[in-house]
Amino acid sequence: MAISHAAPGDVIDVRPLGAALAKTRTHALFKSGDLEVIRVVLLAGDDMPPHVVAGEITVLCIEGRVEFTCDAGVRQLAAGELILVSGDEMHALRGIEDASLLLTIALKKDARSGVKA
């Protein structure tokens, strides 16, 4: 069953998942013309390999702890902590503890074509 995306005006619950964390999968909350918001679930020991996103991103740790690697170095994020990453910057994640994160991606248009990158 597909998870539906929120529409403008919908209230989205991003509170900690608690006991449901281990059974929850990463899923997009919504995607608009300029913005995408995803709830990332990363279990202890799991990782998101190094990758690049065209637009700026923020990562807010809702619960648990993760190791975030970017150009500034290795950072640990705990519940309530947020990091900003520039567009086109290589970054990676590793779960230190079971964690859920709120990932916000600014979708960047290609100046020549007007297409989202």
DSSP letters of 34-101? SEEEEEEEE-TT-EEEEE--SS-EEEEEEESEEEEEETTEEEEEETT-EEEE-TT--EEEEESSSEEE
Q: Give the C-alpha separation, 1 to 76, whole Å.
A: 34
Q: Does 17 reside within a domain?
A: no
Binned at pLDDT 50, 70 and 90, residue 113 comes out as: very low
Q: Does 96 reside within a domain?
A: yes
pLDDT at 109: 64
Q: Does 28 reside within a domain?
A: no
pLDDT higher than 60, residue 1: no
Q: Does 46 reside within a domain?
A: yes
Q: Does 77 reside within a domain?
A: yes
The per-residue pLDDT for range 25-36, each reduced to its tens digit, is 999 999 988 999
Q: Does 80 reside within a domain?
A: yes
Contact call for residues 101 and 42 (beta carbons, < 8 A): yes
What is the value of pTM for the model shown?
Answer: 0.87
Give me the number of domains the chain comprises: 1
Q: Taking Cα atoms as reference points, which of 45, 73, 77, 30 lies closest to residue 58?
A: 77
Q: How many CB atoms lie within 10 A of CB 53?
A: 20
Higher pLDDT, 104 or 110: 104
Residue 58 domain boundaries: 35-106
Q: Does 64 reside within a domain?
A: yes
Q: Give the C-alpha separation, 54 to 109, whole Å.
A: 9
pLDDT at 5: 83
Q: How many percent of the chain have pLDDT more than 90?
A: 82
Q: Does 117 reside within a domain?
A: no
CATH number at 86 reads: 2.60.120.10
Residues forming a β-bridge with 94: 47, 67
